[in-house]
């Protein structure tokens, strides 16, 4: 069956997710509708099909698994939390996804220890609400890894992100805005679902001619 954005969102909603997110790691899983929107935009840009992709801070794998469902050549999943990696393995091995074992590698490590080069980085880094600018390490690693980056951040930090990109010779070609649901998986959240404005930046390093 041909993949569409809404079919992708349904498939991604069937993934297992954290029930006890770790606060220090800011494990805010990407909502399946938002993940599908980001991946669909990337797909339409020609940034997924046949591409080598790194999913940094992969969590339960939603971004990279979605990329594989849309025809990515290979995905590196990098995640330091062993519990998240266990869920990720459980998800990717679901027979219904038909993901072939040769099309991915799961690396249970800190992103700072990842040194491969890829075509594209997909990441939903910690937003730095608990630890200021903890997203900076993710951006730095993304700049080193790929020429095209899809990265999610609180919209309020947009200026900081675009300036940091510019300093690293990247330009923001597109910005997609979402109301991002933070489910009450962490104790300090009082309302059951609370939404924050989040932007996905497509950053590109222009190729030198
Ligand atoms: N990409 C997933 C998870 C986002 S939450 C999704 O979109 O749903 C951010 C993830 O980054 C968490 O799983 C957290 O454990 C992981 N993480 C945080 N700091 C990290 C680091 N330095 N190296 C590797 N993973 C990290």
Which of the listed residues 23, 27, 186 should we mutate to test ligand 1's pocket, taking the one with most ligand atoms within 8 A of CB? 27
Q: Are 139 and 164 in contact (CB under 8 A)?
A: yes
Q: Which residues are near ligand 1 (CB < 6 Å)?
A: 25, 27-30, 57-59, 62-63, 78-81, 84, 110-111, 124, 126
* Residue 152 placed within a domain: yes
Residue 209 counted as domain residue: no
DSSP letters, 25-76, are TT--PPPHHHHHHHHHHHHHTTSSTT-EEEEET-TT-HHHHHHHHTT-SEEE
* Residue 94 within a domain: yes
- Can you give the pLDDT of all 209 residues of the chain as single tens digits? 789 999 999 999 999 988 766 666 677 889 999 999 999 999 999 999 999 999 999 999 999 999 999 999 999 999 999 999 999 999 999 988 888 989 999 999 999 999 999 999 999 998 776 666 778 999 999 999 999 999 999 999 999 999 999 999 999 999 999 998 887 555 555 656 788 999 999 999 987 66
Q: How far apart are CA 189 and CA 93, in angstroms?
A: 32
Instruction: Indicate the helix (H) or strand (E) that contains 107.
Output: strand 104-107
* 77 found inside a domain: yes
Which phi and psi angles does 106 have, rounded to 5°? -105, 120
Q: Which of 17, 68, 80 to mutate to test the pocket of ligand 1 (most atoms within 8 A of CB)?
A: 80
Taking the CA atoms of residue 22, residue 26, residue 27 and residue 30 in that order, the dihedral angle to the nearest 10 degrees is 160
Measured from the Cβ of residue 137, the count of other Cβ atoms closer than 10 Å reads 18
pTM recorded for the entire structure: 0.93
CA of 135 to the centre of ligand 1 (A): 10
Q: How far apart are CA 12 and CA 113, in angstroms?
A: 28
Q: What is the pLDDT of residue 24?
A: 67
Which protein residue has the closest C-alpha to ligand 1 atom 18?
25
Domain residues for 118?
Answer: 5-204
Strand-pair category, 74-78 with 148-154: unpaired
In a domain, 200, yes or no: yes
Gap from CA of 111 to ligand 1 centroid (Å):
9
Question: Total structural domains in the chain?
Answer: 1
The enclosing domain of 52 has a CATH number of 3.40.50.150
Residue 101: inside a domain: yes
């Amino acid at each position: 069956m041909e993949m569409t954005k809404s079919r992708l969102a349904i498939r991604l909603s069937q993934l297992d997710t954290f029930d006890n997110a770790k606060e220090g790691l800011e494990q805010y899983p990407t909502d399946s509708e938002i993940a599908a929107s980001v991946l669909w935009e990337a797909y339409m840009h020609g940034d997924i099909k046949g591409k080598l992709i790194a999913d940094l801070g992969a969590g339960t794998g939603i971004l990279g698994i979605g990329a594989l469902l849309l025809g990515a050549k290979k995905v590196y999943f990098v995640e330091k939390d062993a519990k998240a990696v266990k869920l990720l393995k459980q998800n990717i091995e679901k027979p219904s996804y038909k993901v072939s074992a040769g099309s991915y590698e799961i690396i249970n490590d800190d992103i700072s220890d990842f040194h491969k080069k890829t075509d594209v980085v997909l990441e939903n880094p910690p937003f730095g609400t608990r630890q200021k600018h903890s997203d900076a390490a993710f951006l730095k690693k993304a700049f080193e890894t790929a020429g095209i980056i899809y990265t999610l951040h609180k919209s309020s930090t947009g200026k900081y992100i675009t300036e940091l990109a510019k300093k690293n010779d990247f330009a923001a070609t597109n910005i997609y805005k979402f109301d991002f649901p933070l489910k009450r998986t962490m104790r300090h959240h009082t309302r059951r679902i609370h939404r924050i404005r989040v932007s996905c930046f497509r950053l590109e390093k222009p190729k030198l001619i």
